[in-house]
């Protein structure tokens, strides 16, 4: 998670979106991809950025874990699929977040519930919440 937090500090600033970092590790704990919000496109999300760097059929995704500094989104206006859906299609089996998405831009994000309902293990690391939130302190309601 600390690597994901480090990546979140690379995000170009935005007044209308969270700065998020994401790291994907294989079943053995080796980093296989990473990404951050607005990394190569003003609308790309961290989880999406990490996932698009790997082939969709990459066998390392089976049993992989994605670490994201924020709960994966369940609503997108700029893309056809939210990050929660991208994760569901990826075959990743575990998601670790630093904090759940507050109602700043989306009234009721249900990423954690959606992922768990699909059988994906979701863990939150409250001890790293404040550290992950630092890059978003400029946003209204934070």
Please identify every residue annotated as catalytic.
47
Contact criterion met (CB below 8 Å) for 32 and 48: no
CA distances from 35 to 4, 23, 85 (A): 8, 7, 17
Contact criterion met (CB below 8 Å) for 122 and 130: no
What tokens were used for 20? 């998020």
């Amino acid at each position: 998670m600390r690597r994901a937090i480090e990546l979140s500090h690379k995000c170009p600033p935005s007044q209308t979106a969270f700065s998020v970092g994401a790291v994907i590790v294989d079943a053995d704990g080796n980093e296989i991809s990473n990404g951050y919000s607005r990394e190569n496109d003003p609308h790309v999300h961290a989880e999406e950025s990490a996932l698009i760097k790997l082939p969709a059929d990459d066998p390392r995704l089976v049993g992989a874990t994605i670490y994201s500094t924020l709960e994966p989104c369940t609503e997108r206006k700029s893309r056809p699929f939210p990050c929660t859906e991208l994760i569901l299609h990826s075959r990743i089996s575990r998601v670790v977040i630093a904090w759940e998405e507050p109602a700043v831009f989306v009234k009721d994000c249900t990423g954690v519930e959606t992922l768990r309902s699909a059988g994906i293990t979701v863990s939150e690391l409250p001890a790293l919440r404040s550290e992950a939130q630092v890059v978003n302190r400029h946003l209204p309601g934070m």
